[in-house]
Every structure is written in structure tokens, then in C-alpha cells.
Structure 1
Amino acid sequence: MSAAATVAPAEPCGVTLGAAWREWLDEVFGDRPGTYGRYELTLRRVTAHLDPEGTRDVATVTGHEYFAALKALWGQRMPATWNANRAAVSSFLRWVRDFAEYAEVKLPPRCTSRTVVQDDTKAVDREDLDDLWDEDAVPLRERALWRVMYESSSRAKPVLKLNVPDVDLKRRRARVRLKGGRVVWIHFGELGARWLGELIGDRTKGPVFLTLRRPWNWASRSLDDMGPEGCFRLSYNRAEEIFKEWTRALGLSGDGVTFDFLTLHQLRHSRLTHLAEDGTDTPMLQQISGHKDPRTLHRRYTRPSSAAVSRHMRLVDQRDAQRRRQTVRKRPVAARPRGLPGARSRASRSRSPGADRPG
């Protein structure tokens, strides 16, 4: 395929841009609602940028125009965000080109993915996270949400979508829907179960995590999100804002370091890191985290935290010091070194100069 395919528009094929990407999503991702929703959001914004009237033929849009739209919409965003939206457009154009055969178009060569810097500081030490579970300082709803997320290693959105009937406090588990539509059990510990029980109380239906007052967009919210007394399901954006408000006010072990860098997702990251440090094997980590590819799991989560490395190095130093002490005790006296060749002995160094000289 020549580079001209990205520049010169092809002959119209009779299908609008909006109709083309909807056909692509229905055909390829109709049974995967999670992926469908993410790609739909990307293509909807690209279409609004390229075809505000909704009448443009898909074959008349060039690769350079798609590139310009990507730069305008996500050019200043983080590399991971750019890569995800670029991949969605690239997949759509591959379908347009190879399967639907609407047009020979692709992104220009300079529309490349960006390097994502690996951040190995996302895992927070267990002792530092204890401030988040302080019953005297943190409200019950926040404690229950954060602790269940941490103990279950779950993402925030599935936990926030929990309804009261989904929770099995006796077995310390809950039914959640993951990305891609898969329904699984997540498991949490004794502390999370106790706080969830206190939060739910005698309620038998409705969302588990509720707002304290009616949200501004309550009229457009689903009835499934409605709780008792005019309360609604706590949204992800509001949960993240509350988490930031609380963590900015909490210090780490009194050493002046703050929680400013923390996000809700780092509770999941920290938990999986801690489980790996404790020796949890890969199949169990996959089952807990929901990762299908173990390479993703190892690349992102199974790196020891900085605190774990510090503890390990202190243990290595203690063992090394003990070994050296035992080696010195076991070595015969005659075999112990008395000094370097040509150096004076300790006894000779202790005598004053000229002490053995005749007067």
C-alpha cells in the first residue's frame, strides 16, 4: 500500500463515518460490552471532530485527518491515554481496509505509539496504609470501600457498582462484573466484612455505597442507582475526589511524607504487590486479580516494593554480620592474620619509639 492512501481521499463508498464505526463495533465487539464502550467513546469523539454534521463518507477521510484529530483530542494527554485511543482508531481503520473494504486508508507512519514510563513506586507499604483504616479518623463508608478494594485487589468501579444482594458477608465475598462483562466473586477479609456489615445495616436492596446527599444529576441517573431516602450510588469520580481529600490530610508514619500521589487504583496495585511479596504463586494471583496474561501481572504488580527491598537488605546485613562473627570465632588462633607483610605488630606499635634502645 502506498503512502498516498493516507493523504488522498478515495471514492465515496456510500457509508458515513458514524455508520461505519458502529457497524465495526457491532460486528467485532457485540459480545464484549466493556471493550465496546471504550472504543465507542473514542470513535464518537473522533467523529464529532471530523464530521460534526454526521454526513461525511468514511472513504473520504484520510489518515492524516485521523492523525490530526488524535493530536487535537489526546495529543497533550499521558502516553498511555494516547496509545489507547490511537490503538482504537488503528483497529477501526484496519477493519475498514481489510474486512469491510470501504477504503485503503491507514494512519501515517509518524502517528506512532508513545513510550510509557514504568513507575515502580506505586506500591505503598502496609504500615503506611494503616492510616487509611483508622476508625477514629476516617468515616465508615470510606473505610469500608478502601478496605474492600485493598483486600480483594479489585478495581474501584466494580466495587462501587455492588448492590446489597451481591454481598455474601458470611463467606466474605461479593459478585462483581469485570471489564468485558465477566461476572466473578471477589473475596475480602474479616475487617472489610465487618465494616461492610455495619455500612449495609438492615438494608436488603439498593447500592452498597451511597452518596450522603442527592447528586446534581439525580434526574438523569438510573433507578438502579437509587437508594433509600433520596440517596444515590456513589460515583467513581466522586469517590476519587473524596479519596484525594482524605489522603492529602493524612501523613505517612509521621515522617512528613504525604499521600498526595495516591489514587484509588493504587490500593489494588499495593495489595497484589504485598501478596507477591508473601509468596502467593502466579495462578492464585491471576485468580485474585482477574488477569488473563501472567506477563501483564508480573510486569505491573509483582515487583517488590521499596519497603520490602529495605527490609530484605536489613535482613541480608544481619545475616552477613552473624556469619562474619561466627567465622572469626571458629578460625584457629594461629591461622588468624597478624598484619600485612612489613607492618609492625600491635605490640610493637604500642611501645614508644626508642623504648628498647640502650641509654
Structure 2
Amino acid sequence: MPPENERLSQERAYLIFNGQARHTIERLTAWFTHQWSGRAPATFNRHLDALRSAVAFWMDQGWLAADPTRRLRRRDRAPDRTRALTVADIEALLDLEVPLREKTLWTMLYETAARASEVLGLDIANLDRRNRRARVTRKGSAVDIIVWQTRTARLLPKLLAGRSRALCSSLNAELASLWQPATWTRSLGGPGCPTDALRRSSTS
């Protein structure tokens, strides 16, 4: 923006907020309330914080003489009353008659407490099945070790039986299909990869 236009914008802002301060506060309060009052308290507060951050900058620059957001108040967040699943609930879930891929993924997520993206990013070659562990990349690119228990240790050999590292080296290729539409037609591993057969069976 050219310097002269920037100065005009600053002067316009100054006149709007200071020359008509009372009306501006009322209009801003009404607009913000209408815009965000129907949203969750966390969303309302986040946008209010962003607006107040901008206002603080404008006041530091001398463009505002008073805070036009002063009538707005942050909202209290409702307490989280959701309950965690009981051990019995989890056991019942893992005992459901579902395809081996789903059962392995659910079990591995539960036993390792890893994120889905971390498990789906595992390579077969990097699975230390003897010691029941694998190296994963956490959020923020931190490298960590996940460890699983007996149930996963029993399921993995069944899931990976006959998998060729040369043709299909990624556990991602096997499990990621859980997140694809049923009509998905591209094989993750290419022709010859075991997931190709799985893909064909899921779309037939």
C-alpha cells in the first residue's frame, strides 16, 4: 500500500473509532455478538482474543484512544462431562466381528495410545515384532517408540502374512484403505501388492 493510502487508512480508522466512539462501540458489540454468540464459548473467546490483539496494536500506534471491545466479555467454557469408555466397553469393542484390518488398527491404537496418523505411517520393515515395538514420528516431528501388547502381537502376523517388502513395504498401504471410500479404485501398492487384491474385493 502506498504511504499516502496507508496514512488515509490510519486517519479513517482514527476518525471512525474516536470521532464516533460511542456509536462504534455499540455497533462493534452488536456485530460481534451477532456473529459469534451462537458459537461454542471457545470459538467466541478465540475470535474475541484476536480482535483485542488487533485493538491493542491500534492503540499502541495511537490510532485508537479507547478500547472499542470493552463491553464484550469472554465466555465461560462448559465443563467437559464426557466419560471415558470403561475397560469392559473397550473389550467389547475389540471383540466385535469386524474385518482383520479394522480389528488390528483399533487394537494397536488402544494398546499403544498412538495417534492414527502415527500408526498409519508405520512401515513393515520398521516393525520390531519380536520386541513388540516400532519407531514413530510424533506431532512436531519428534521421534518416539510405541510398544504394543499381546493382542496386537497376535493380530499383526495375520494381517501381514505373505506381504512382500519389495512390492508392498508399507503398513500404511494396508491400514490406510480403512480411510478411503468404498469405491476407491487406485491401488496404494501397485499391481501385485496384496492391497491390490484387498482393493478389488472391497469394490466388487
TM-score range, shorter chain: 0.5 to 0.7
CA deviations 1:133-152 (Å, max 9, x no partner) are 126x1221211121111112
Establish whether residue 199 from structure 1 lines up as the match of residue 159 from structure 2: yes
- The one-letter amino acid paired with 1:211 is S
Percent sequence identity over aligned pairs: 28
- The one-letter amino acid paired with 1:210 is A
Root-mean-square deviation (CA, aligned residues, Å) is 4.8
Alignment map for 1:1-16 (pairs within 5 Å):
12=6
Q: Which moved more, 1:155-164 or 1:103-112?
A: 103-112
Residue of structure 1 equivalent to 2:21 = none
- The two structures have a TM-score, normalised by structure 2, of 0.55
Establish whether residue 79 from structure 1 lines up as the match of residue 45 from structure 2: no
Establish whether residue 188 from structure 1 lines up as the match of residue 148 from structure 2: yes
**Corresponding residue SS for 1:145:** helix
How many Å separate the matches in 2 of 1:189 and 1:195? 10
**How much does 1:211 deviate?**
1.4
**Corresponding residue SS for 2:90:** helix
- The one-letter amino acid paired with 2:177 is T
Establish whether residue 118 from structure 1 lines up as the match of residue 79 from structure 2: yes
Residue of structure 2 equivalent to 1:210 = 176
Number of residue-to-residue matches in the alignment:
167
Establish whether residue 171 from structure 1 lines up as the match of residue 137 from structure 2: no
1:210 and 1:227 in contact (8 A); partners too: no
How many Å separate the matches in 2 of 1:218 and 1:145? 20
Residue of structure 2 equivalent to 1:143 = 103
Alignment map for 1:20-59 (pairs within 5 Å):
none
Q: What are structure 2's unaligned runs of at least 5 residues?
A: 18-24, 197-204
2:119 and 2:136 in contact (8 A); partners too: yes
**Corresponding residue SS for 2:156:** helix
How many Å separate the matches in 2 of 1:76 and 1:180? 33
Alignment map for 1:177-326 (pairs within 5 Å):
177-201=137-161, 202-204=163-165, 205-206=169-170, 207=172, 208-211=174-177, 215=181, 226-228=188-190
**How much does 1:87 deviate?**
8.0
CA deviations 1:178-213 (Å, max 9, x no partner) are 333322122221212332332233243231513169
**How much does 1:132 deviate?**
1.3
1:90 and 1:107 in contact (8 A); partners too: no
How many Å separate the matches in 2 of 1:78 and 1:216? 34
1:166 and 1:176 in contact (8 A); partners too: no
Residue of structure 1 equivalent to 2:120 = 160
**How much does 1:102 deviate?**
7.7
**Corresponding residue SS for 2:144:** strand
1:158 and 1:176 in contact (8 A); partners too: yes
Q: What are structure 1's unaligned runs of at least 5 residues?
A: 1-10, 14-55, 233-359
2:112 and 2:147 in contact (8 A); partners too: yes
1:166 to 1:217, Cα distance in 2 relative to 1, 3 A:
farther
Residue of structure 1 equivalent to 2:200 = none
- The one-letter amino acid paired with 2:6 is P
